[in-house]
Chain A
């Protein structure tokens, strides 16, 4: 008879993973089942094509970027640990955690979530969202529906609003400031049922 315990024991370093990400054993098991379901060829790794098989993701305008965020630069596969670590960014924040500035930020804190979202825009990881990078995101989200001029004017306007030090790019601090009123925890969290 199968058991949760046996599933957990199949995952190497699962204690460490739970500690790092804050997922409960039940969540880890569910994610592992999901990982295995996506890993159709049972290689123990996921490739971009495995994500591509998810229909709802394929119809998401920034689906490719989301898939890309799972693979760190140069890597072509993602194993279960990295899979869970990325998803951990979207765990709802732990309300009872004491704010201790000396400890490193947990992976699902507001700052970490914002950093993660920032990376969606900042593809070359230079710490700034340039006009070209912003245009790229806009293009994926709007594609054929608007003209190139409209895209450019939207990009210009956005940078104008957020760019405080006038370097024609949005740094992480400016990004954070521009979104300080948004309820990040609510909007960038996925709540597991049980």
Chain B
């Protein structure tokens, strides 16, 4: 009996080792090696096409399900808010409110109806406010068979549930282990490779090798996320000695951009695993890592970046001026610090396709590890990257204006909304200045300019 059992065990072991060998050779042969050389076997594109077909089918089923059961109300997801907003400025709206009065607005004066404008605006913001919207994930019109994006859909049919169940199995049991393995290989290769290259003397060979190592690792990591990236306008790719500026949706942005070129990363130096990676990366080519204490001193930061940019042989710096992750439907205010360094700015617009997975990192809700796990269990990451023509600061243009100009260009190209709000509003309270601004605008309508008011004392006395 025991002999049989042992025999059975041996068989199991040999089968297991055989499977493992097959697994590894498949991985290395079909995924890693093409990835390292930037080639693609076309498997991913076929996969994406199949996915799209399935998702479209699922959407049709859901729509049909809704039609059959009209009593169930399903609010359609609204990308730009719940309520209709009047587009007029404060002056326009006050003017309309006061139209019934005989005096003209230029005379100023207060009307009891003035408060309605503020009242309505206040209530509108209670029902729905544009800033908070940007920090929650985009609602999809169709459902991409991931429960995490499932807000408004309910049980439609058995077939759909079965497909969904299959999807879960495929994603967690087939795709996820594959991706984890690739990610681990990619990262360890990055550390090992850059450390090895670091031993070489500073020559052109070293730079070339380091670029190669970096590219290979990022490509493997990208495969680890099943990322399909489409680059547009490659002729505008960031050059050495420039600054690359992009909108920020998730930490994966770095992998996405670095798949096509080498950048000098800018960031805070971390401890632990990140720290190991950072330190080894620096060995092969200069990146800019700041200590936490240094980050607070804006001048120190700017001068270090300036020094990096000035050395024309250094790789372009990669900066995300929004300062935080936004949900990829809009671009928030760019912090002017990046635009004060000088040099040429190469703007890049990144747009994720939300059908295949929500790439937005809601740092308030998820930490890095759970975020990466979510990424690795999504269907795929499909991204479009547009390189925009380089921009420089013009004569007489201050950093803020320049930042806004770049932001508009990026928003326009990526089909994102150009928002005036500051990304840090997610965490901080709004400044009193904004309130004062509203009061100023209103007061100029009520009392007019101060000079005008003092010139008409006689009209006031006659009215009394």
Contact = CB atoms under 8 A, between A and B. Distances in A.
Interface of A: 1-6, 24-27, 29-31, 34, 37-38, 51, 53-63, 66, 87, 90, 117, 120-121, 137-138, 141-146, 150, 153-154, 157-158, 162, 170, 175, 178-179, 181-182, 184, 187-194
B70 to A, nearest CB: 12
Interface string B324-354: 0000000000000000000000000000000
Contacts of B131: 55-56
Contacts of B443: 141-142, 145-146
Contacts of B44: none
B150 A2 contact: yes
A29 B121 contact: no
Contacts of B93: 187
B82 A145 contact: no
B125 A188 contact: no
Interface stretch (B151-159, B174-182, B259-267, B405-413): B151-159
Contacts of B130: 56
A115 to B, nearest CB: 13
A66 B122 contact: yes
B75 interface: yes
Contacts of B83: 190-193
Contacts of A193: 78, 81-84
Contacts of B402: none
B395 interface: no
A66 B123 contact: yes
Interface stretch (B109-117, B224-232, B374-382): B109-117
Do most interface residues of chain B lie in helix, strand or loop, or is the interface mixed? helix
Contact of A87 (B97, B127, B435): B127
A25 B442 CA distance: 38
B127 A120 contact: no
Nearest to A181: B100
Contacts of A27: 75
Contact of A187 (B72, B97, B151, B155): B97
Contact of B72 (A4, A162, A191): A4
B75 A157 contact: no
Which 9 A-B pairs give the minimum distances between C-beta atoms? A3-B154, A181-B100, A145-B443, A56-B125, A59-B434, A66-B122, A26-B75, A191-B84, A55-B430
A26 B456 CA distance: 54
Contacts of B435: 58-61, 63
29 contacts: A1-B154, A2-B150, A2-B153, A4-B73, A31-B127, A34-B82, A34-B127, A55-B425, A56-B121, A56-B124, A57-B122, A58-B435, A60-B118, A62-B115, A63-B122, A87-B123, A117-B116, A121-B112, A137-B115, A141-B439, A145-B447, A154-B110, A158-B111, A179-B112, A184-B116, A192-B83, A193-B78, A193-B83, A193-B84
Main secondary structure of the interface of A (DSSP, over half): helix
B113 to A, nearest CB: 5
Contacts of A4: 72-75, 152, 154
B236 to A, nearest CB: 36
A146 B152 contact: no
B74 A1 contact: no
Given A4-B154, A117-B119, A191-B83, A60 B112 contact: no
Interface of B: 72-76, 78, 81-84, 93, 96-97, 99-100, 109-132, 136, 147, 150-155, 421, 425, 429-430, 434-440, 442-444, 446-447, 453, 460, 463
A185 to B, nearest CB: 11
Contacts of B154: 1-6
B73 A60 contact: no
Contacts of B147: 1
Contacts of A181: 99-100
B150 A182 contact: no
Contacts of A1: 147, 150, 153-155
Contacts of A141: 114-115, 118, 439, 442-443
B110 A138 contact: yes
B451 to A, nearest CB: 14
Contacts of A187: 93, 96-97, 113, 116-117, 120
Contacts of A60: 118, 121-122, 125, 435, 438
B119 A188 contact: yes
Nearest to B80: A193
B157 to A, nearest CB: 12
